[in-house]
Structure 1
């Protein structure tokens, strides 16, 4: 089936996926710089490399997942991970928490999970004869929502409200969440029984959505070799001072990323990418409306810029280039572009549409 037949370059099947750009590491001093100094990129690269080394101790392969987690953390957002069971989603989340020396809570979502089980509640203390507040597991630096689509809509809303507000309300008292704060949600795409799919408006709250794939044969052999050298199948998540950073370092990285320069041309490029997904923009794609029923929102523009700033900082630059935008454009847009039933029936995915958009919109 020929798609976008107006021009050959608009064919979804003929456009290769946009590769992610890699990052390198340099050694920097330990002096903490202010967000306006040129030492930011060097120190950021050093801190990012520490986290990568920590990931390599417990996670084989999954470089895309690792980079997505680190970039989302620095950009100050939340991430949704989709994969079949057994691909180390929980391990990756716990490794990220150990990387930043932060607190970690795992919440196994079930249909009977209530909002109070997440945010906390008030209980009566017989000793003092007063109501006291018991905070829930969402009050941690890194929160893993395992199989978020198994929780009810009411519980999902409570979690997403905490993500957006950075605080919870218990008994009329507003309690701020610990900072830095990040939610890693997972969902299983192959088992639909007893699940509540996230509405489109709530999916938009996640800065990125990454899809994990099976490891290669060589990576799986390396994984087995790593396990054979251990006395237990479960790894230790104790903080390693040589491969971890502090919570103040994460705060510094987030502040430094916000100071990365974004030129007007890059801003226009981002807006053109997002507008094109909605059938508008300066380079509209003919026939896109038959495949896409809803394009990306302006929140996607904000997320794409924040992610590009974080990627630029990790790459040793204090300015954004187009490759920073394209490096994670699939993760930022794939859950924000809703396909028509006709497109789904023909096996056309949002990633294919994003490939076409990136190839159509000229790079500044």
Structure 2
């Protein structure tokens, strides 16, 4: 798992990474510093969103209004020197509003396809659960296969292609429940809580000091599309041992035989945990995965992929509590 340094006078507990992670760690630190200019707290959300970029996965951000879901995702996109689109989902939104449409060109007497806002690198979808099933289906192909089909012609999305979506768990009027197949395409479902008292005071102080400054103008781009692709390739090279793969499979398999659950997680969840734990290891300066990496990312990956039995739901049990119980009861590899 690690190479022990054998130089005279060296600490025998030190190790040398097989993969150089210095540049990646520096970039992640710079991104966090840029976001720290505006965002107070919310470190877990920021960390998981950065991991989703490195692991090339989409993220669903859930929280009540006003907890910085949209602004955090928007500012994170500003730290990346790539194209960005923001789409506000509404009940009357049609597939052509996000995918684009074919328009007749009088000069050429032919139809031309005008690309919609989905043709970008980072897509921020605000209130994703407000759009009807037809629009969700159009988004589903783009998320799942990173392509769309219009008039029997396929259009590939340019890498990186990542969707950050937000939703409000409280308000139900005018919303549509996301289907399980679409939820399964999100690497993470990130739950955002209220800030602490100290953080809220800091938010007020920052807002007072900024006066008329525009938040987006204070953010400096850190990564290019080429750097993101290079870091994503590095993540794939992170070492994960066979016993840790077995540990991941055991956690996911437990959701399928758990008496509290009506629906367990799919193999896509296992792959997601492995990819995300590799990114977590890299961020922490290691070229190998540890059980703690898996424990940290698993709840945000499994929670939205399982469904409680009606009896347990009525008793007040939550998917998060079930995942926590499963992880606690699983034997940790040595």
TM-score normalised by L of structure 2: 0.91
CA deviation string 1:74-111 (max 9, x = no partner): 00100111111111111111111111112211111111
CA deviation string 1:267-296 (max 9, x = no partner): 0000000011111xxxxxxxx41x211111
Residue 28 of structure 1: aligned partner = none
Give ranges in structure 2 of 5+ residues lacking alignment: 1-16
Residue 124 of structure 1: aligned partner = 104
Alignment of 1:103-122 (within 5 A): 103-122=83-102
Q: Distance in 2 between matches of 1:51 and 1:171?
A: 40
Q: 1:171 to 1:140 in 2, by over 3 A?
A: same
- Output the aligned Cα RMSD: 1.4
Q: Is the counterpart of residue 226 in structure 1 residue 206 in structure 2?
A: yes
Residue 352 of structure 1: aligned partner = 321
Which structure: greater strand fraction?
2
Residue number among 324, 344, 348 corresponding to 2:293 in the alignment: 324
Residue 157 of structure 2: aligned partner = 177
Residue 259 of structure 1: aligned partner = 237
C-alpha displacement at 1:238, in angstroms? 5.9
State the aligned residue count.
317
Q: Is the counterpart of residue 303 in structure 1 residue 272 in structure 2?
A: yes
Q: Distance in 1 between matches of 2:219 and 2:79?
A: 7
SS at structure 1 position matched to 2:81 = coil
Residue 253 of structure 2: aligned partner = 275
Q: Distance in 1 between matches of 2:150 and 2:324?
A: 45
Give ranges in structure 1 of 5+ residues lacking alignment: 1-36, 280-287
Alignment of 1:5-24 (within 5 A): none
Q: Distance in 2 between matches of 1:264 and 1:146?
A: 40
Residue 202 of structure 1: aligned partner = 182
Q: 1:56 to 1:239 in 2, by over 3 A?
A: closer
Residue 330 of structure 2: aligned partner = 361
Alignment of 1:71-150 (within 5 A): 71-150=51-130
Which is further off, 231-240 or 312-321?
231-240
Q: Distance in 2 between matches of 1:67 and 1:221?
A: 22
Contact 2:129 2:176 in 1 (8 A): yes
Contact 2:34 2:219 in 1 (8 A): no
Contact 1:109 1:150 in 2 (8 A): yes
C-alpha displacement at 1:127, in angstroms? 3.3
Q: Distance in 1 between matches of 2:217 and 2:104?
A: 35
C-alpha displacement at 1:41, in angstroms? 1.8
SS at structure 2 position matched to 1:278 = helix
Q: Is the counterpart of residue 188 in structure 1 residue 168 in structure 2?
A: yes
